[in-house]
Structure 1
Amino acid sequence: MGMLFNTLYNLTDIWFAGYLSADALAGMSIASSVFFLLLSIGIGIQSGASAMIAPGAGRNDTSGVKDWVNNVCGMAIGFSAISFAIGYFTAQPLVVLLGAEAHIEPLAMEYLWVTLAGSVGFILSFGAAGALMALGDTKSNRNALVIGFFANFILNPFFTFALGLGVSGIALATVVIKFATAFYLLRVLAKRLEIRIRPRFNWQRHKALLRQVLPASFNMLTIVLGSFITVALIGQFRSEHVAGYTVGLRLEQVLLLPALGLNSAVMAIVGQNMGAGKNERIVDAFQKSLLIGLAMAALSIPLMWFLSPFTVGLFTDSESIKSTGITYLRIDTLAFYAYVVLFQSVAVLQAIQKPMFPLYLGIARQLVIPGSINYVLIMVYDFPMISMFYTIVIVVILSALVAYFYTKREIDLLPNR
């Protein structure tokens, strides 16, 4: 539910940008790709925090859990400073690289400067959510995301239209809501653990945390970079196609959200049973997650195919934007269940503290293979844009097969206690 409302939140931003203009929609689509590229190293802190805190929760090590929480908050603050510093020097060149024309670039930069300034709110909320998930609390983050969605419906039109801030208003609404989310989740965490949260920078703790956070962050980075490369190549066909791809991608994420929610639940369950040494429950959680995911795919794929003209049309009247979004959605139905298998396999590997394989697989799946193939197809042989979508499908299916068999093997190798 939380992931559903989070993606609906993102769709709300796109919807209001579409009301401003097709240029605003294209500019925000490009800017969001750059922002998540810069933020990706911090997003992994949610997975890392969950992986480190869950075993302590399984052992009832309250003192250790409290110390981990403080260090997670310290690392979140450090990551946000790094994200802002990198963004300050690289944001504008990246926007241009993604194909933003002269009239689109200022709109993209409006959105980026505001969101980068508020990056600490994003990363603190990720860290707090990961800690709560490790403690078995997914409801608090769900509540924050649901409330954030409705708050966005109020703040977006207020900042964007009533105050006349345009694209900056959309970004400002998001920053305000993310700071409120971080405050709420940290307050819940402090009350649950009966502590006052104080960011700590214990080097030994941070080194252990980084061993989980960095692979998860770089795994997320490869996902964002893969999307970034795809957007850059689509940008060769004009920015309105970037907007269409972005709308299609966000709509697909709505249907994938139950699988992502399942992903978070599997991480928490496997992590706690890892700490308790209950390997048979890890096997059971992985198998059941794949069966539940199959049922999700059976429901979602027909919706993705038949409703795509209607749903894409909600965001724009531009025929070129709509055509690209519909085409992407229908082709990617072929890989829908493969995404589910990938999500669950990666969740299990991170929970049993084997994060390197997802990183290597992500580099191959998101960057090396599709990037090189699509570059050759588009830039060398002048293939049409649609060829990129088929490349994505084939690579995702093959990656899912590899991830499934590797995860199964790693579970079998776990020591019995």
Structure 2
Amino acid sequence: MKAQSEMLGTEKISKLLFKLSAPATVGMVVSGLYNIVDTIFVGRALGDASVQGIAAIAVSFPVLMISMAISLAIGLGGASIISRRLGARDLEGAERTFGNIIGMSVALGTLVAILGIVFITPILELFGATPTILPFAKEYLQILLYGSPVFMFSLVANNVARSEGNARVAMLTMVISGVLNIILDPIFIFGLGMGIKGAAIATVISYFSAAIFLVKYFVSGHSTLVFRSRDLKPDLPIIKEVCALGLAPFARNSSMSIVVVFVNNILAIYGGDLPIAVYGIFNRLLVFASMPLIGLLQGMQPIIGFNYGAGNYGRVLETLKLSLWISTAIAVFDFVLLYVMAEILFSAFTTDELLIESGVDATRIMVLAVPLLGIQFISAGMYQALGKALPSFILSMARQTIFLLPLLFLLPLMYDLEGVWLAFPVADALAFVLTSWMLVREYRIIKAESA
């Protein structure tokens, strides 16, 4: 077995966490950046229709999140199994898992594309598209759906590379894809005058670049894992375990889609296109600000999974403690950035003064509990890396579904549009209390096992 997976059990934790998290963070930041750039270019290209264009991306976002939710369920569920089997020196089992999740990603990606294209109009209407937003949203989303199989394959394969400790490949995949998208955006949107359709075409081309890079990596012999066509044959126990472990990331990301749909429809009632555009920009900003947290999480998980599988519980605890400190520092920085720089950030997307003013007011309410997000990210990821599907699922659902959805229904009844924005920090605070209790309990269990 190659050194890239062996180092997970031997190298100094602080050095190892940096080695795995830094490339993941760079990759995630670049990936998040091209989502920001897409929206900025669309807002600038459409001029007087910038509100509708930005809102169109916002109502399309849940569909993309569903594709991402399925991909991360397969990729992170499979990565957890692969990390633990590599830790237990079961290379054959790891490779069989690899083949199964690759097959699942392509099959389900094709299904998403077919269903999405056939039912695109009712889906977008359900997701909050008003009559003025719908034409822009259909033009944008239809092209992205054609790339769904490639997009989902890339996300799954990227998580496999990371699970064996090869964070550099995972980073390069996202950097190549992200940089290419940023280069192609102005060419298609402005140079060829394609507007919002050009943004979608640039994104799909970037999906293909990521897929080609990953295929080359896995067939080149540089991976610990070897891809064999016979491993594509469905293995029911593996599929069941992938689905069980993938339930938490699926719940977390699909619940984000549900929340966006719910918010878009509420905003259509309380304010129409403008607050939908505000929420669309805020969502992009928050996702981008969260990328370092996700990068840290992706660096942490293979270390915890490998060492838990190998019985090195002391290394598991050390990784967890360091990750909690770093994640909290990142979350506090995100809060300061979004609160203080709200006006500058919104001004990058549009020249519409009312959109900017409304966006600043809403953002400064929604980010009030952002400093608490770091612990929530790390705790849910810890349970997943340990192979404990149920608590990971509960924590993944807590913020987005268990607390936020009821608050989104109740608070606007009392505070009108401001109640929508208030629901976010209140839900974050409640989820933090639950997460802290579960984290302390699990930490004590692992510490007892270590002793």
Range into which the TM-score falls when normalised by the shorter chain: over 0.9
Q: Distance in 1 between matches of 2:282 and 2:301?
A: 28
Which one is further off, 346-355 or 232-241? Answer: 232-241
Counterpart of 2:79, as a letter, is S
- Structure 1: runs of 5+ lacking an equivalent: none
Task: Decide which of 388, 392, 403 is 2:424's aligned counterpart.
Answer: 392
Match of 1:112 in 2: 141
Which one is further off, 294-303 or 67-76? Answer: 294-303
Which one is further off, 345-354 or 185-194? Answer: 185-194
Q: Give the TM-score taking structure 2 as reference length.
A: 0.86
Is the CA contact 1:39–1:119 (under 8 Å) kept in the aligned structure 2? no
Alpha-carbon displacement from aligned partner over 1:74-118 (angstroms, at most 9, x marks no partner): 111122133224423543223223432223201101111111111
Q: Secondary structure at the match of 1:257?
A: helix
Counterpart of 2:29, as a letter, is L
Match of 1:193 in 2: 224
Match of 2:79 in 1: 50
Match of 1:205 in 2: 238
Q: Distance in 2 between matches of 1:348 and 1:376?
A: 32
Matched, 1:239 2:239: no
Task: Decide which of 130, 134, 149 is 2:178's aligned counterpart.
Answer: 149
Q: Distance in 1 between matches of 2:349 and 2:408?
A: 28
Match of 1:323 in 2: 357
Matched, 1:311 2:345: yes
Q: Distance in 2 between matches of 1:195 and 1:37?
A: 29
Aligned pair in 2 of structure 1 residues 101, 299: CA closer, same or farther (>3 Å)?
closer
- Cα drift, residue 166 of structure 1: 2.4
Aligned pair in 2 of structure 1 residues 14, 83: CA closer, same or farther (>3 Å)?
same
- Cα drift, residue 293 of structure 1: 1.9
Is the CA contact 2:85–2:94 (under 8 Å) kept in the aligned structure 1? yes
Is the CA contact 1:87–1:116 (under 8 Å) kept in the aligned structure 2? yes
Q: Distance in 2 between matches of 1:194 and 1:53?
A: 9
Is the CA contact 2:247–2:389 (under 8 Å) kept in the aligned structure 1? no
Alpha-carbon displacement from aligned partner over 1:144-187 (angstroms, at most 9, x marks no partner): 22222221122222222333332222111111111220221232
Which one is further off, 50-59 or 289-298? Answer: 289-298
Q: Secondary structure at the match of 2:415?
A: coil
Task: Decide which of 48, 57, 73 is 2:102's aligned counterpart.
Answer: 73
Aligned pair in 2 of structure 1 residues 297, 137: CA closer, same or farther (>3 Å)?
same
- Cα drift, residue 140 of structure 1: 1.3
Counterpart mapping for 1:9-408 below 5 A: 9-21=34-46, 22=50, 23-190=52-219, 191=221, 192-193=223-224, 195-198=226-229, 199-236=232-269, 237-378=271-412, 381=413, 383-408=415-440
Counterpart of 1:115, as a letter, is L
Aligned pair in 2 of structure 1 residues 343, 364: CA closer, same or farther (>3 Å)?
closer
Counterpart of 1:222, as a letter, is S
Q: Distance in 2 between matches of 1:136 and 1:90?
A: 40
Matched, 1:4 2:33: no
- Cα drift, residue 288 of structure 1: 1.1
- Cα drift, residue 73 of structure 1: 0.3
Q: Distance in 1 between matches of 2:300 and 2:376?
A: 13
Number of equivalences: 415
Which one is further off, 364-373 or 241-250? Answer: 364-373
* 4+ long deviations beyond 4 Å: none
RMSD of aligned Cα (Å): 2.1
Q: Give the TM-score taking structure 1 as reference length.
A: 0.92
- Cα drift, residue 197 of structure 1: 4.9
Q: Secondary structure at the match of 2:401?
A: helix
Alpha-carbon displacement from aligned partner over 1:123-161 (angstroms, at most 9, x marks no partner): 111111111111111121211222222211222222223
Is the CA contact 1:41–1:218 (under 8 Å) kept in the aligned structure 2? no
